Amino acid sequence: MPRYLAKRRLVRRGAPPHSAMACRTLELDELLAKAQNEFQQQFGARPDIAAAAPGRVNLIGEHTDYNDGFVLPMALPMVTVVVGRKTSDGRCTVATAVPEADEPRRVSFSVPSKQPLLPGSPKWANYVKGVIANFHAASAVEGFEAVILTTVPLGGGLSSSASLEVATYTFLEALTNNQSKQLKDKALACQKAEHDFAGVPCGIMDQFISVMGKKGNALLIDCKSLEAELVPLDDPKVAILVTNSNVHHNLGSSEYPVRRRQCEEAARILKKPSLRATKLEELMAQEKTMDEVIFKRALHVIGEIRRTEQAALALRVGDNAWLGRLMNESHQSLRYDYEVSCPELDLLVDYANEVEGVWGSRMTGGGFGGCTVTLVNQDAVDKVIANISSKYPGKATFYVATPSDGAQIVKL
């Protein structure tokens, strides 16, 4: 756990007391102050440009984005910030103050107009380089110094990578005074950075919500048309509890591309452009002719796309029981058909569901570790935390998540 997420029995300033037992996330101004101090130490000056972009938690719609399906994430109060200043030395010099980042923690490379950027080591810098290379006004980047800091837990399935990409992109927009005309293009450029520079064939969900999140809302994203609808998520009686299993199985990175290929294969067998375009009956009619694993993968995706559309409706009409049921079904489908859960996540879901006042719970993100998301009555949050803490064999951490805004340029 990053040191600045240290558990403190404090409530968020200015916000209602959600839970005395959950972790407190640093407020943006506190995080920026730390980043500015770090910049002063690294570069001996004050930064004058700052950008922030959030991580996300996905309520439902897992492994559907790269199948042209629906997803229903919300932006988190946890953000990555990039602070810095312009230089004219033709170099980008970036330091990370994130304790988990690989060494070296400071890198310097030529601006893209002088020398094409290539991925390499350290790994964290690939996200920055990838975004610069895919920035719509890359030739206008003449040089800068910057520091990165985050409150998004790394490897927790809460999109720390996307938040770094989108924060970097937003920083470059401020640096060059050249904002992306289309927010979709900004998200797509950040996704491309992850594909080409981090080698992860991710879908569009994480970058999209980090760019477009809105306070008080989840976002129903149609990953085929890239159209999105806000879905209010502001019932004061209900909380979104994020529980970090604090396990990170390496399998995640190798199995993700395998799942993607299996879905493509299923669509090919079914003679469809994608699993989004496939009806459940069409899949069932082919069950005998398909490999069992490929069939199960498609079954999850087709069911999950439907569940996600229903979940948006459930949220709109305020039917927590329905939404919770869909979340539980999603988890079982991810566990048994898509096979991306792990024992720790299954335990967290089971322990959450034991508590009265819990509507539903599921793993969130790519899987094989990371976090669960639980829909729970506000007055039952601490009971869930206590139940999980007393039974979970590892050390879980808890965050009460409020739906927050997407990326922003911050005035220092």
Burial class for 185, CB neighbours closer than 10 Å (0-12, 13-18, 19+): middle
Peptide bond into 122 cis (omega under 30): yes
Using CB under 6 A as the binding criterion, the count of chain residues that bind ligand GLA stands at 10
Given 38, 68, 173, 206, the residue binding ligand GLA (CB under 6 A): 206
Q: Does 337 sit near ligand GLA (CB under 6 A)?
A: no
Find the part of the chain contacting ligand GLA (CB under 6 A) among 57-65, 78-86, 93-101, 119-127. 57-65
Q: Does 203 sit near ligand GLA (CB under 6 A)?
A: yes
Nearest residue to 203 via CA among 87, 56, 13, 381: 56
Q: Does 373 sit near ligand GLA (CB under 6 A)?
A: no
- 29, 89, 196, 206: the active-site residue: 206
CB 158 within 8 A of CB 78: yes
Comparing CB distances to ligand GLA, the nearer of 176 and 361 is: 361
Residue 291: count of CB within 10 angstroms of its CB: 12
Find the part of the chain contacting ligand GLA (CB under 6 A) among 9-17, 40-48, 201-209, 327-335. 201-209
Q: Does 370 sit near ligand GLA (CB under 6 A)?
A: no
Q: Does 213 sit near ligand GLA (CB under 6 A)?
A: no
Q: Does 329 sit near ligand GLA (CB under 6 A)?
A: no
CB 115 within 8 A of CB 91: no
Residue 206 is a catalytic residue:
yes
Long-range contacts, 5-8 (Cβ 8 Å, 24+): 5/151, 5/153, 5/397, 7/397
**Shortest distance, position 205 Cβ to ligand GLA, whole Å:** 5
Find the part of the chain contacting ligand GLA (CB under 6 A) among 5-13, 98-106, 197-205, 348-356. 197-205
Phi, psi of 89 (to 5 degrees): -95, 5
Given 2, 55, 360, 366, the residue binding ligand GLA (CB under 6 A): 366
Amino acid identity for residue 276 in this structure: R
CB 317 within 8 A of CB 82: no
Q: Does 228 sit near ligand GLA (CB under 6 A)?
A: no
Sign, Cα dihedral of 358, 364, 367, 372: negative
Q: Does 205 sit near ligand GLA (CB under 6 A)?
A: yes
Q: Which two tokens stand for residue 110?
A: 């030529």
Given 25, 36, 59, 62, the residue binding ligand GLA (CB under 6 A): 62
Find the part of the chain contacting ligand GLA (CB under 6 A) among 25-33, 167-175, 199-207, 342-350. 199-207
Q: Which two tokens stand for residue 388?
A: 């999980």
Residue 199: count of CB within 10 angstroms of its CB: 13
- In SS3 terms, 306-367 reads as HHHHHHHHHHHHCCHHHHHHHHHHHHHHHHHCCCCCCHHHHHHHHHHHCCCCEEEEEEECCC
Q: Does 202 sit near ligand GLA (CB under 6 A)?
A: yes
Q: Does 369 sit near ligand GLA (CB under 6 A)?
A: no
Find the part of the chain contacting ligand GLA (CB under 6 A) among 36-44, 62-70, 307-315, 325-333. 62-70
Comparing CB distances to ligand GLA, the nearer of 29 and 100 is: 100
Active-site residues, by number, are 206
Binding site for ligand GLA (CB under 6 A): 62-63, 65-66, 202-203, 205-206, 365-366
